[in-house]
Amino acid sequence: MKHTVIIAEAGVNHNGSLENAFKLVDAAASAGVDYVKFQTFKSDKLVSKIAQKANYQVENTQDIDESQFQMLKKLELSEEDHAALIGYCKSKNVEFFSTAFDLGSLAYLSGIGIGMVKIPSGEITNLPYLRLAAKQFSKVILSTGMATIEEIEAALEVFLKAGIPKKNISILHCNTEYPTPMKDVNLLAMLHLKETFGISIGYSDHTLGIEVPIAAVALGATIIEKHFTLDRSMKGPDHQASLEPGELKQMVLAIRNIEMAISGTGIKEPSPSEMKNIVIARKSIHLLNSLAENDSIQDSDLEMLRPGDGISPMDVEKVIGRKLNKNLPAGTKLSLNDLL
């Protein structure tokens, strides 16, 4: 049966608190996800000190004067934090994962044994970043928010030229608006990526709710990434476009149910569970009128009634015109043994 890799994106929703980060790990593990993912960066290597925040970041932090640098500086995780989180994830039987947003952070994650890299949408046009990622990691997840097919192709080529096989690369359809309006999801673009590049596909979701990632799995996504938080009312850039713990658990359960629902042979045939219903739901040929021995059966003498363990109504033409070998009352379920 298909197993969709579910990445619970904690991101920066810890608000700079290791205690909150541990609670996010607890929630992810309880939900049954495969990975809980954080973000690894040094603010001075990620953004200039005068760069402004995105509109959604201003709205969600409720601080118009704060720069993007100031916001991110408060959300950095130290190396000690990383070590603590990796150990805590192991104790909770959930895989630690993180996205690096600068060259030094790429090298750091590789150095501590993270074997898979997640290329965030904002770095898909950063050639030095892509080249280093291709050298440092053997597996790649490429997020494609804001990207054109040509930009995706150019990024993908970096990894292929570095010798990373297609089987080790996944491409995630994504929209970077937080939250993404439903009209902008364009979920079928995920299938376009698969057709164009012949590579495993997935979906990184920033919509509200859980419907779209579930639909993505039904369409063939092999990876789902979804932001989650402890409480959507918390201040911070990503909380409002994130699931709360109970919703995350509902999403995981729904995805696992969808996996079972699409795991059949694809051939239309009765399932084992419904075989018992054939006798109950289908009908057999019954006598509408009482008939005597040697009477010839007419169409007007018959009716089709449940249960379906007698002569099938599909064989009614084989019954009409036959004679009875005994007297039978109205309501009798006919058997071939009743016919001459």
The tens digit of pLDDT for each residue in 235-279 reads 888 899 999 999 999 999 999 999 999 999 999 999 999 999 999
Q: Does residue 57 have a pLDDT over 90?
A: no
Q: How confident is the model at residue 47 (pLDDT cuts 50, 70, 90)?
A: confident
Report the CATH number of the 5-261 domain.
3.20.20.70
Residue in 14, 10, 16 with CA at minimum distance from that of residue 29: 10
Q: How confident is the model at residue 48 (pLDDT cuts 50, 70, 90)?
A: confident
Q: Does residue 51 have a pLDDT over 80?
A: no
Q: How confident is the model at residue 142 (pLDDT cuts 50, 70, 90)?
A: very high
Q: How confident is the model at residue 62 (pLDDT cuts 50, 70, 90)?
A: low
Identify residue 321 by its one-letter amino acid code.
Answer: G
Residue ranges of alpha helices (H) inside the chain are 18-31, 43-46, 55-61, 68-73, 79-91, 103-111, 127-136, 149-161, 189-197, 211-219, 245-261, 277-281, 316-319
pLDDT for residue 58: 59
Contact criterion met (CB below 8 Å) for 150 and 140 = no
Angle at alpha carbon of residue 93, lines to 89 and 96, rounded to 5°: 35
Whether the model clears a pTM of 0.75, i.e. scores above it, the answer is yes
pLDDT for residue 90: 98
Report the CATH number of the 272-338 domain.
3.90.1210.10
Distance CA 325, CA 298 (A): 15
Question: Where does the chain hold its CATH 3.20.20.70 domain(s)?
Answer: 5-261
pLDDT for residue 69: 79
Mean pLDDT throughout 88-103?
Answer: 98
Structure-derived torsion over alpha carbons of residues 268, 274, 279, 281, reported in degrees to the nearest 10: -80
Q: Which two tokens stand for residue 260?
A: 């079972």
Q: How far is CA 37 from CA 27, 92, 94, 122, in A?
A: 12, 14, 10, 17
Question: Where does the chain hold its CATH 3.90.1210.10 domain(s)?
Answer: 272-338
Q: Does residue 53 have a pLDDT over 70?
A: no
